[in-house]
Amino acid sequence: MSRLFEPLMIGNLHLENRIIIAPMCQYSAEEGRATDWHMIHVGHLALSGAGLMILEATAISPEGRISPHDLGLYSDDDEAALARVLKAARTYSSMPIAVQLSHAGRKGSSRAPWEGGAQLRPDEPMGWKTLAPSPVPHSEAEDVPLALDASGLDRVRKDFVEAARRAARLGLDGIEIHGAHGYLLHQFLSPLANRRHDEYGGTLENRMRFPLEIFDAVRATFPADRPVWMRISATDWVPGGWDIDGTVTLAKALESRGCAAVHITTGGLSPAQAIKIGPGYQVPYAQRVKAEVGLPTIAVGLITDPEQAEAVIANGEADAVSLARAMLYDPRWPWHAAARLGARVHAPKQYWRSQPREYKDLFKDTSYGQR
Ligand SMILES: Cc1cc2nc3c(=O)[nH]c(=O)nc-3n(C[C@H](O)[C@H](O)[C@H](O)COP(=O)(O)O)c2cc1C
State the pLDDT confidence band at 248, using cuts at 50, 70 and 90. Answer: very high
Q: What is the dihedral of CA 258, 263, 267, 268, to 10 degrees?
A: -80
pLDDT higher than threshold 90 for residue 197: yes
Percent of the chain with pLDDT over 90: 98
pLDDT higher than threshold 90 for residue 174: yes
pLDDT higher than threshold 90 for residue 44: yes
* Chain segment 254-275, per-residue pLDDT in tens: 999 999 999 999 999 999 999 9
Question: Can you give the pLDDT at residue 369?
Answer: 87
What average pLDDT is seen over the chain?
97
- Ligand 1: atom nearest CA of 231 is 11
For atom 1 of ligand 1, the residue with the nearest CA is 24
State the pLDDT confidence band at 370, using cuts at 50, 70 and 90. Answer: confident
CA angle 263, 268, 270 (to 5 degrees): 145
pLDDT higher than threshold 90 for residue 34: yes
Pocket test for ligand 1, best of 325, 327, 333 (most atoms within 8 A of CB): 325
Distance CA 99, CA 175 (A): 5
pLDDT higher than threshold 90 for residue 303: yes
Distance, CA 168 to ligand 1 centroid (Å)? 24
Question: Can you give the pLDDT at residue 266?
Answer: 98
Q: What mean pLDDT do residues 85-95 have? A: 98
Distance CA 146, CA 64 (A): 13
Distance, CA 60 to ligand 1 centroid (Å)? 19
Q: Which residues line ligand 1 (CB under 6 A)?
A: 22-25, 56-57, 100, 178, 180-181, 231, 265, 300-303, 323-326
- Ligand 1: atom nearest CA of 282 is 22
Question: Can you give the pLDDT at residue 335?
Answer: 98
State the pLDDT confidence band at 368, using cuts at 50, 70 and 90. Answer: confident
State the pLDDT confidence band at 359, using cuts at 50, 70 and 90. Answer: very high
Question: Can you give the pLDDT at residue 332?
Answer: 98
- Ligand 1: atom nearest CA of 100 is 9
Question: Can you give the pLDDT at residue 140?
Answer: 93
- 183 as an active site residue: the answer is yes
Distance, CA 359 to ligand 1 centroid (Å)? 31
CB distance 130 to 138 below 8 Å? no
* Chain segment 225-236, per-residue pLDDT in tens: 999 999 999 999
pTM of the model: 0.98
Query: CB neighbours (10 Å) of residue 364?
Result: 13
